[in-house]
Amino acid sequence: MLHIAIVGSGPAGYYTAEAAQKKWGEDVRVDIFDALPVPYGLIRTGVAPDHQSIKAVAGRYEKTALSENVRFVGNVRIGEDVEITDLAALYHAVILATGAPSDRPLDLPGEQLGNIFGSAAFVGWYNGHPQYAELYPNLSGRHAVVIGMGNVALDVCRILAKTEREFAGSDIVGHALETLARSRIERITILGRRGPHQIAMTPKELGELGHLSRARPQVDPDDLPPVDDDAILEPGLRKSVTLLRQYAEGVADPAKPLTIEFDLFASPSKFVGEGSVSAVEVERTFVENGRAQNTGETYQVPADLVVSCIGYQTNPIAGVPFDTRAGRFANDRGRILPGLYAVGWAARGPSGTIGTNRPDGFAIIDRIEEDFASGVISAGQRDGRAGFDRLATERELDIITFRHWKKIEEAETAAARSGAPREKFVDIAEMIRAAR
Ligand code: NAP
């Protein structure tokens, strides 16, 4: 019997479990660990609450989770409650699928001022991640600045811009909905340090900004290159740039008092304010050979709230080699050390779609098979599950199983606002109470 431990129950974790099951069938036992008592990682706490169709992929993970040879082991912090070395002694292979849950820092002067958040924290807040339930962003000012030209920046802009009614059918948590409903924000400026041809926004997500009931995207036509230049772009990016061109042609609409202003060629250089942020100082750039170059010209953008959406990094785990510059585990195509692997964002950094993790999961299982075949990892007897259960009893760990999770899910569904799929618990103790 092969025993495999997967750390992290998000998309990379469940696709990897599915791949192991497909490869070894009844000859494998997979334990999927999560620090939270609830599964699905990014699907639950990263994917926007108004993107329920993307979250539906959890149904696929549930199928894997409910099979006999895969087990969810929630509420266990690997690196704190249990060390990597403990898992390595019990399982033939340990696969880190921990994603990239922390913000990359901007490292700019003034970053410690109040009401400046990274997207991991801000998204975690509106998605009910227990770590960020008490973020309390202040939305009583008129100006918000969102830094970055990726899909997370779009999510944050859209959530800040929507009316309460536009959240119908979403699973945004109650505390965020209440705060957003009282928001006084009138202008959201999205800062991009490069130009329209370098945005990382996909057309579907960028297109959503054009269909908001009280907000209107605004692009400065002078920021756009001649239309013929778009011919060299790959089709997805060309569509996104075409949307920017449409937004540049838009006209003011009194029914849409909230503007989402694209400020391109604008690199943040410092935060200004006393106690709390009041402005972002920005340096004008131009793009040369694809890179942003500063012009030396600076100006200030009013900002009562700042959300920096410049990408994420993996949290290191004691004893696991880490590539600090790249912000992920040091690995060669998923291999970290003999018997220790990484998959998904923890291996390649935060890029691609949810679906990108599926081939990643299958590829890492192929590599593990190769490593068994070549003797890099021994197929000798390991205690696996039974050994872990003994360890958990010794350490008095309060483990949450998939069956417990289904009880939590039931309670969340029962507590949902009318039309919403669920009201998430945002407190770990409450999750555990619901589970029992
Ligand atoms: P991302 O796509 O890498 O975008 C990060 C943005 O931040 C880029 O525009 C980047 O500009 C900018 N940036 C980085 N460092 C900066 C700095 N120091 N100053 C100013 N700007 C800086 O990351 P993301 O938006 O966090 O998204 C992560 C992944 O999740 C992506 O693959 C994304 O597509 C995916 N995602 C998908 C969806 C969806 O499909 N609905 C939703 C959310 C996220 P440069 O290009 O100049 O570096």
Half-sphere exposure of 112 (CA within 13 A, CB side): 1
What are the counts of helices (DSSP H) followed by strands (DSSP E) for the chain?
15, 19
Model confidence band, residue 97 (pLDDT cutoffs 50, 70, 90): very high
Q: Is 114 in the pocket of ligand 1 (CB under 6 A)?
A: no
Distance, CA of 259 to CA of 278 (rounded, Å): 18
Q: Is 137 in the pocket of ligand 1 (CB under 6 A)?
A: no
Q: Give the tens place of pLDDT for each residue, 170-212.
A: 999 999 999 999 999 999 999 999 999 999 999 999 999 999 9
Q: Is 106 in the pocket of ligand 1 (CB under 6 A)?
A: yes
Quote the pTM value.
0.97
Q: Give the tens place of pLDDT for each residue, 158-173.
A: 999 999 999 999 999 9
Q: Are 103 and 119 in contact (CB under 8 A)?
A: yes
Measured CA distances, 268 to 51, 147, 233, 262, 350 (Å) = 29, 8, 26, 14, 22
Give residue 107's region: left, alpha or beta (phi > 0; psi -120 to 50): left
> Rounded to a whole number, what is the distance in angstroms from the first to the last CA of the chain?
31
Q: Give the tens place of pLDDT for each residue, 365-382.
A: 999 999 999 999 998 999
**Among candidates 11, 6, 79, which has minimal Cα distance to 41?**
11
Q: According to CATH, what is the number of the domain 105-311?
A: 3.50.50.60
Half-sphere exposure of 25 (CA within 13 A, CB side): 1
Q: Is 198 in the pocket of ligand 1 (CB under 6 A)?
A: yes
Q: Where is 160: in which H helix or E strand?
A: helix 151-161
Atom of ligand 1 nearest to the CA of 199: 9
Cα of 23 to ligand 1 centre, how many Å? Answer: 34
Q: Is CATH 3.40.50.720 what the domain over 2-101+314-435 is classified as, yes or no?
A: yes
Q: Give the tens place of pLDDT for each residue, 21-30.
A: 999 999 999 9
Q: Is 310 in the pocket of ligand 1 (CB under 6 A)?
A: yes
Q: Give the tens place of pLDDT for each residue, 335-365.
A: 999 999 999 999 999 999 999 999 999 999 9
Q: Which residues share a beta bridge with 70?
A: 30
Model confidence band, residue 237 (pLDDT cutoffs 50, 70, 90): very high
Q: Give the tens place of pLDDT for each residue, 409-431.
A: 999 999 999 999 999 999 999 99
Distance, CA of 326 to CA of 81 (rounded, Å): 27
Q: Is 200 in the pocket of ligand 1 (CB under 6 A)?
A: yes
pLDDT > 90? residue 252:
no
Look at residue 324 in the predicted model and tell me its pLDDT. 96
Distance, CA of 431 to CA of 436 (rounded, Å): 9
Q: Is 148 in the pocket of ligand 1 (CB under 6 A)?
A: yes
Q: Are 337 and 330 in contact (CB under 8 A)?
A: no
Average pLDDT on 107-116 reads 97
What value does the mean pLDDT of the chain take? 97
Cα dihedral 36/62/48/111 (nearest 10): 30
All structural domains of the chain with their residue ranges: 2-101+314-435, 105-311
Q: Are 308 and 116 in contact (CB under 8 A)?
A: yes
Atom of ligand 1 nearest to the CA of 292: 47
Q: Give the tens place of pLDDT for each residue, 292-319.
A: 999 999 999 999 999 999 999 999 999 9
pLDDT > 90? residue 248:
yes
Whose tokens are 């699905």? That residue is 40
State whether residue 5 is helix, strand or coil: strand
Q: Is 350 in the pocket of ligand 1 (CB under 6 A)?
A: yes
Measured CA distances, 151 to 96, 103, 203 (Å) = 25, 15, 10
Tell me which amino acid residue 188 is. Answer: I
Cα of 229 to ligand 1 centre, how many Å? Answer: 23
Q: Are 43 and 354 in contact (CB under 8 A)?
A: yes
**Among candidates 121, 102, 125, 103, which has minimal Cα distance to 172?**
125
Distance, CA of 53 to CA of 168 (rounded, Å): 14
Cα of 199 to ligand 1 centre, how many Å? Answer: 8
